[in-house]
Amino acid sequence: MKILIIGMGFAGKAYYESLSYLKNNNGNKITLAYYSNKQENVNITYYESLDVSLKDYKPDMIIVAVNDIYHINILQKLKNFEGIILCEKPFVSNSEELNLALDFLNTEKQTIILSTVIRFSLATQKLKHFIESNNLSIKRINFVWKKNRINDFRPTVGVISEIIHPLDTLEWLFNDKIKVVSSIITNSNFSVKRDKYIPDSIFLSGKLSDGIITGYSSFTSLNVERSIDVVLKDLISHDHYYVKLSYDSPNWFEDTLHIYKEKKENKLKLQTLIV
């Protein structure tokens, strides 16, 4: 398979390292190349023109790893491409861009995949298995997903690219869609362009299956915090389970899952099931 990576920043290099590992260690027949606005220190073919890379390299798969604000422009240039497109989240910036993309994307000749990586965390996978192995209902969910992007040099569409992580993860865990009931959005000029106001924080409430969900996400937080708290009820024993998912803590890519079971004694007694 011939794979073209568009963009060689943090995300692009992560794909490069992962695919290079698969190529070198698992015997996968993978060829890599990349297009970026400048040449980077990676040992694969570099193209300084997207049109040239499509014409000469003829990729089977394209990974869109540019800054989120440029997704719609890149996708528009790929409208005649036939193959697999893996796009970093968020797919586009807003509903107007989504409608535009739906007009020019060729879903008959293109397989389009949105890259939302949190669902592939081992902590998330373990919780998914626990949910599917038990007869549970959702009582309550709350999430916090925030970090600091003040004065960050990278252009961005705003906090939509942050809140998409917990929303996608929860929908995947419970095989259902979140119905947003209310939201409060704060816009500011937190980014490097002081004349441009974009969403920096979102608080929302809604429903997921029979459970109530609330959450807060921000790009203006001093510390990184990415956590999901879930209360589940066993429909047979009527016991309650208290779930804590923590991501990128204490270090990047270090994730943990804790599941506690409520005992039926007079006082609450928690037992750790999974750590």
**Predicted TM-score of the model (pTM):** 0.89
Confidence band, pLDDT 50/70/90 cuts, at residue 254: very high
Report the alpha-carbon distance of residue 5 to residue 16 in Å, rounded: 8
Please determine, for residue 26, whether its predicted confidence score (pLDDT) is greater than 90.
no
Query: 149-192 pLDDT, tens per residue?
Result: 998 888 899 999 999 999 999 999 999 999 999 999 999 998 77
% of the chain surpassing 90 pLDDT: 80
Please determine, for residue 264, whether its predicted confidence score (pLDDT) is greater than 80.
no
CATH of domain 119-274: 3.30.360.10
> How far is the CA of 215 from the CAs of 110, 171, 227, 250, in angstroms?
34, 14, 10, 21
Please determine, for residue 23, whether its predicted confidence score (pLDDT) is greater than 60.
yes
- Structural fold of domain 2-115: Rossmann fold (3.40.50)
Sign of CA dihedral 169, 105, 198, 8: positive
Confidence band, pLDDT 50/70/90 cuts, at residue 270: low
Predicted local confidence at residue 27, as pLDDT: 76
The encoded tokens of residue 89 equal: 């989240």
Predicted local confidence at residue 265, as pLDDT: 65
Query: 117-141 pLDDT, tens per residue?
Result: 999 999 999 999 999 999 999 999 9
Predicted local confidence at residue 268, as pLDDT: 63
Please determine, for residue 271, whether its predicted confidence score (pLDDT) is greater than 80.
no
Are residues 61 and 4 in contact, defined by beta-carbon separation less than 8 angstroms? yes
Predicted local confidence at residue 25, as pLDDT: 87
Predicted local confidence at residue 274, as pLDDT: 62
Query: 82-120 pLDDT, tens per residue?
Result: 999 999 999 998 889 999 999 998 888 999 999 999 999
Predicted local confidence at residue 260, as pLDDT: 92
Domain ranges of the chain: 2-115, 119-274
Confidence band, pLDDT 50/70/90 cuts, at residue 224: very high
**187: amino acid identity, one letter:** N
Predicted local confidence at residue 2, as pLDDT: 97
Predicted local confidence at residue 70, as pLDDT: 95
Arithmetic mean of pLDDT over the chain: 92
Residue 78 DSSP SS3: coil
